[in-house]
Amino acid sequence: MNESDDFPLCPANFVCRCAKVSEDTLVGALVSMELATVNDIRREIGAGNGCQACHRVLRRYLQRQKRAYAENGPVLSLQCP
């Protein structure tokens, strides 16, 4: 599986289909609310509270956000070129 398979979404698309949470909403919350865990995401924006199929993707966003922030500051999108 390559990187684009892991993150096939663009900002207007859903990262959590159950809660209909978009990448824009998730990344905005990661930056503004300083969310550090999937449970933080679940509590603050509701993503991940359904079937939990998105938890792996949510963890990847958390990891990338943490790494990118340490190197360059906040990341606004992980997907679109």
Site string for ligand FES, 20-49 (x = CB under 6 A): ---------------------------xxx
54 interacts with ligand FES by CB under 6 A: yes
- C-beta closer to ligand FES: residue 21 or 65: 21
Q: Burial level of 67, CB count in 10 A (0-12/13-18/19+)? A: exposed
Helix, strand, coil tally for the chain in percent (to 5): 50, 5, 45
Catalog residues that contact ligand FES under the rule CB under 6 A: 16-19, 47-54
